Structure 1
């Protein structure tokens, strides 16, 4: 094979430290733009994004030459630095230490885009913590 063809569709999510609700409408838009900019700098296509008051959903196509942990570290680090510089929230801002990254089949991209776009409605029925624990069970991280 002369060329490499790689698609690494990943649904990445992470939360504000202590899951505090800190982002308001205006700061959500600014943060969304920054996350897209940082992803683009690393040549990673953002397919969907949603900034909630206490967590992020990001659907990307991660390039083959980029390590997932490096991508997340750079995006989270750059965004927390920027949030503090811009004084987008009161006090010192930081993200929780970890993150979730879940592989996505190409056949499910449109379903996941819709899911990410509809986070406001979705979280009226299910909290982020409930949702995150469900993903971990579905991906085999722990049993009930």
Structure 2
């Protein structure tokens, strides 16, 4: 049996960054569902949180998983579930693009805290600002 611990910080937004999750109650439902559904599919989501127009996940990849498939499963199923349960007024969808960066073991707790404190963080910075900072910090073009 392989022993693998590969942490990924995954960030994805709602289609056109529409603030579909504008209440805490909706966010809690969606984040809880993402974590539970991922677990059922053998995807380890250590932490999930976000704000009105985006989601952060700290995941750990298993030996038979790749980022593309994990992201597809998380986003596709949660989008279907949100629409099926009519959690938004209009048809819900996630943006196609996403960020995924590796996280060293020494930084895992820092990333957990960053994800945990999204509501506080976004009183000071919009997702657009966060998005641009991520692109610059990680050298995304």
Structure-1-length-normalised TM-score:
0.91
Distance 2:139 2:18 in 1: 27
Distance 2:92 2:43 in 1: 25
Residue 11 of structure 2 corresponds to which residue in structure 1? 13
Residues 8 and 64, structure 1, Cα contact 8 Å, conserved in 2: no
What is the CA distance between 1:51 and its match in structure 2?
3.1
Residue 44 of structure 1 corresponds to which residue in structure 2? 43
Q: Secondary structure at the match of 1:98?
A: strand
Which one has the largest radius of gyration? 1
RMSD value, Cα: 1.3
- Shift >3 Å, 4+ stretches: none
What is the CA distance between 1:28 and its match in structure 2?
1.1
Q: Which segments of 5 or more consecutive residues in structure 1 lack a partner in the other structure?
A: none
Residue 128 of structure 1 corresponds to which residue in structure 2? 127
Q: Secondary structure at the match of 2:63?
A: coil
Q: Secondary structure at the match of 1:76?
A: helix
Q: Which segments of 5 or more consecutive residues in structure 2 lack a partner in the other structure?
A: none
Residues 51 and 57, structure 1, Cα contact 8 Å, conserved in 2: yes
Q: Secondary structure at the match of 1:49?
A: strand
Distance 1:47 1:68 in 2: 15
Residue 87 of structure 1 corresponds to which residue in structure 2? 86
Task: List aligned pairs for 1:1-144, cutoff 5 A.
Answer: 4-23=2-21, 24-142=23-141
What is the CA distance between 1:41 and its match in structure 2?
2.0
Structure-2-length-normalised TM-score:
0.93
What is the CA distance between 1:120 and its match in structure 2?
1.1
**Per residue, is there more strand in 1 or in 2?**
2
